[in-house]
Structure 1
Amino acid sequence: MMRELDKLDRAIVESLSPDARVSNRQIAESLGVSEGTVRARIKRMEEQKQLRITAVTNIDRFVDATLAYIWIEVERSDQTRDVARTLAAVSELGFVGVMLGRSDILAITMVKNTEHLASFVRQHISSVPGVRRTESSLGVNFLKHDYRMARIVS
């Protein structure tokens, strides 16, 4: 049974967000709980897929690649989930989400240049059954890229 994140769980996640290498002991001391409590809660959140601790690349350091946002419209709305699942299996896509608004799906990847983007879209996106049309844009200048987006907005 999955528990909802309580105040302590959220505080632990907030402590891990800037640097997931922080020790359980440090987190416990800052929150006034035992190290075992922190360890057990992190383990539970990982097991319930509420938390995943992973290394993240810093896109600001890539000199030969940029983020490409690919907005996808499907032919029929009942195809959206199937198209999204197919796209999620494409290893080069770092994000695939079903969206509200003008486009049905947003996919994000890294590309070297516009030619690379055009080739990628032709080979991996437009060829998927159910895709009606795509529109792409390239990230040019990132003023803020916070990987801690999963924080709950209060």
Structure 2
Amino acid sequence: MSRRQLDGLDRDIVQWLSRDARISNRQIAAELGVTEGTVRARIKRMEEQRQIRITAVTNIDRFRDASLAYIWIEVERTHQVRAVARELAAIPELGFVGEMLGRSDLLAITMVRNNEHLAEFVHSRIGTIEGVRRTESTLGVNFVKHDYRMARIVK
């Protein structure tokens, strides 16, 4: 299956879905001046080609008893970065794992109850992975803006 680039109509559909994934295909079609079948087919194609995934997103503002923890990870050797990243990605508590440019090799993000919970998690789950040289953790304390629709800026 060849993967095609998103065109303007695809991006418009995604923008509507990013505001409210429960919006009907009929309503999107009416807003964009196309048929409901066109919207349905395009959404199906984008899902099949893994260009989009429609999912529910937790509103982190609702978790007053939890903090978002950013765990910056340095790896011992450059050739170990991908292997460490794969091991991190297998940890269910981590919602994000990414290879980074700059001071740290990897970034992992999770939710924790408090400082002690973060320390226990880092020491028992991350520090034990072969190739991890050093970690540095920071806690998000006040989120001014949290928007999972960031992909819309990429064209």
Shorter-chain TM-score tier: over 0.9
**Aligned AA (2:135):** T
**Aligned AA (2:89):** A
**Aligned AA (2:55):** T
Quote the Cα distance in structure 2 between the aligned partners of 1:39 and 1:26.
11
Root-mean-square deviation over aligned CA pairs: 0.8
Query: What is the match of residue 61 of structure 1?
Result: 62
Q: Greater helix share, 1 or 2? A: 2
Q: How does 1:64-103 map to 2 (within 5 A)?
A: 64-103=65-104
Query: What is the match of residue 126 of structure 1?
Result: 127
Identity of aligned residues (%): 75
Quote the Cα distance in structure 1 between the aligned partners of 2:61 and 2:153.
25
Mind listing any 5+ residue stretches in structure 1 that lack a counterpart?
A: none
Quote the Cα distance in structure 1 between the aligned partners of 2:86 and 2:97.
8
Quote the Cα distance in structure 1 between the aligned partners of 2:29 and 2:102.
43
TM-score normalised by length of structure 1: 0.98
How many equivalent pairs are there?
Answer: 154
The runs of at least 4 consecutive aligned structure 1 residues that moved more than 2 Å come to none
2:155 is aligned with 1:149: no
Quote the Cα distance in structure 1 between the aligned partners of 2:89 and 2:151.
19
Shift of 1:145: 0.1
* SS of residue paired to 2:150: coil
TM-score normalised by length of structure 2: 0.97
Mind listing any 5+ residue stretches in structure 2 that lack a counterpart?
A: none
Shift of 1:152: 3.0
Query: What is the match of residue 42 of structure 2?
Result: 41
**Aligned AA (2:150):** M
Shift of 1:65: 0.6
* SS of residue paired to 1:86: helix
